[in-house]
Amino acid sequence: MTTGGGADRVPSAALRTAALEQLLVERGLVDPRMVDAFIANYETNVGPLNGAKVVAKAWTDPDYRRRLLAEGTAAIKELGFGGAQGEHIVVVENTPTAHNVVVCTLCSCYPWPVLGLPPSWYKDPAYRARMVREPRTVLAEMGLDLGDDVQITVRDSTSEVRWLVLPERPAGTEHLSEAELVPLITRDAMVGVAKVAAP
């Protein structure tokens, strides 16, 4: 693809994806309805919004929180989330003195039903190696400075066990409902590389 001035430019990922989809549809290799359904599934049924609903419920329902920490997979299924890459999810809680962060040292195992597809940095070899060796430094580089009094535990996801972090509920949100809390909760907080910010 060339633009004015003769400079060669690589088309954006979105343009390349659209062109590839069009080519596959034109050749009868892919049904466009199937592609639309797949995209809709990841936009609405699978992704960080699901995890945020789990966290918000745990913050507002002490009984659910206990079940979530005792048997994450079953408690998450109570809200209708489960399936591939979510067969065994263990939930760990962050507190003012204990911080959990998730990494997959072998590849990029990740709890898709509650977090969607893993971000590119999660799959990066540098993140996977350095988070195990120097978590406090890597977290600081990602914008999360934790005091020396906070114990950091690195959780290694595998094909058998995937981890989800129950982040600390930010101060000043006690008056917010479960539905009002959901938009505050980010994927990064549920991986443990960020905290949930108060509104």
Eight-class DSSP state of 192: T
> What CA–CA distance (Å, rounded) separates 59 from 67?
12
Structure token digits, residue 90: 């263990």
120 part of the active site: no
> What CA–CA distance (Å, rounded) separates 76 from 108?
21
> What CA–CA distance (Å, rounded) separates 94 from 86?
21
Q: Which of 109, 120, 159, 177 is catalytic?
A: 109
104 part of the active site: yes
109 part of the active site: yes
Structure token digits, residue 146: 């934790």
108 assigned ligand-binding residue: yes
107 assigned ligand-binding residue: yes
DSSP-based three-state secondary structure for 41: helix
From the list 193, 175, 179, the residue with the least C-alpha distance to 56 is 179
Structure token digits, residue 62: 């002490």
> What CA–CA distance (Å, rounded) separates 68 from 195?
19
104 assigned ligand-binding residue: yes
Give 99: exposed, middle or buried? Use CB within 10 Å, 0-12, 13-18, 19+: buried
159 part of the active site: no
Q: Which of 12, 107, 159, 177 is catalytic?
A: 107
Annotated binding site for Fe(3+): 104, 107-109
Q: Which residues are catalytic?
A: 104, 107-109
Could you tell me which residues are annotated as the binding site? 104, 107-109
